[in-house]
Amino acid sequence: MRRTVLIAMIAGMIVAGCNQGAQPRPQSEQARPHPPSYQQVETEHPKISASPTITTVGFLEPVDPKEAGDVVEDVGKYLSYVAFFSYRVKPNGSLIPLKDEHPLQVTKKQGAVPMLVITNFAGGNFQPDIAHRIFTDRSAQRRLIQSVIRVMKEKGYRALNVDFEHIREEDRDLYNRFLKTFLPRMKREGFVVSTALAPKSSDRQGGAWHGAHDYAVHGKLADFVILMTYEWGWTGGPPMAVAPIPQVRDVLNYAVRKIPRKKIVMGAPLYGYDWTLPYRKEGPPAKRLSPKEAAGLAKMKGARVLYSNRDQAPYYYYRDDQGKEHVVWYENEESMQAKFNLVKEYGLRGISYWVLGEEFPQNWRLLQENFHVRRP
């Protein structure tokens, strides 16, 4: 889920939520030449006046426990849950732990609920073989249930997120059966349970990224789901917005037909990408950067910041010291307001951020202006 995972895999195989590595998402159907013809210089997205109470989730990769604690100290007060990415599941059902003691303490001090994230991540990517083993080996499944309950009780986690990705499409029913056993067991222990879902816009979307994620089943079993509505623009793909509003809206239109609206948490990126032009598939991967870094780079280079009215995202061009042209797509107040408006328009449960630690101070002020945050 997260989106540190992408940089880890392609840029030398480094990171940022869902890092154990951010994984590339298949985006071929969304790819388009750059620059698009519909770009506009500026626009405005006035906020919808209502201020509903929502759930907010921030994914955290505590690679450096001290830094992770500082991040939560800074933004934890704006979050319902801090999701610790991730406890990696081994084929035998045991868990590879995180160094999470310090950021856990800070999370509790800040009044947010610690959420444990379990993944089938190993060796720089999500592993379908690990997921299949857990789904089919009852001994491994029992060990996983015992391991998760033990860790959560020992460390004080109160919520759980299941983020199994790149599952074989033919394992869809196996995954559903696993969830029908696993999630109710976690609920009986008193934990809030959620799952991460790939951004589907129809039942026809298959393959390793979308095929095994059954929206209706997840919506029925989980307390809520987190839609990974980002990474259309990604480090290994062509330049475009990370979370273009038309594509996000397509996912929401599908999701609300399968899942109760008050169980849907929409994902949003706290980052952008810097591509070297012309884009070549075999060329250098795009560099991830925070909104603050992107805005600072534009100012330093004297770049004219433009805005795509269709994608509802800012971008600009600049030349580096070697004379190579670059394009940067990122997030700013206008693009995040457009996402907040979707949460209100669709009556969703809330919003989830991938990934904490990317500086975007305007987001948190804007969040307060738009919503009341549900706290434990």
Q: What are the pLDDT digits (tens) for 75-92?
A: 999 999 999 999 999 999
- In the chain, the domains with their CATH numbers are 5-35+47-270+333-373 (3.20.20.80)
CA 287/CA 241 separation, integer angstroms: 14
Average pLDDT, the chain: 91
* Tokens 């840029």, residue located: 11
pLDDT at residue 160 is higher than 80: yes
44 pLDDT band, cuts 50/70/90, is: low
| Catalytic residue ranges | 165
47 pLDDT band, cuts 50/70/90, is: confident
**Where do the DSSP E strands lie in 205-340?**
224-227, 264-269, 272-276, 287-289, 306-308, 313-319, 325-329
Least confidently predicted of 95-104, 206-215, 326-335: 206-215
pLDDT for the residue numbered 45: 57
Could you read off the pLDDT of 3-16 as tens digits, one per residue?
444 434 333 333 33
Mean pLDDT of 126-132: 98
Q: pTM for the complete prediction?
A: 0.90
Strands 350-354 and 264-269: parallel
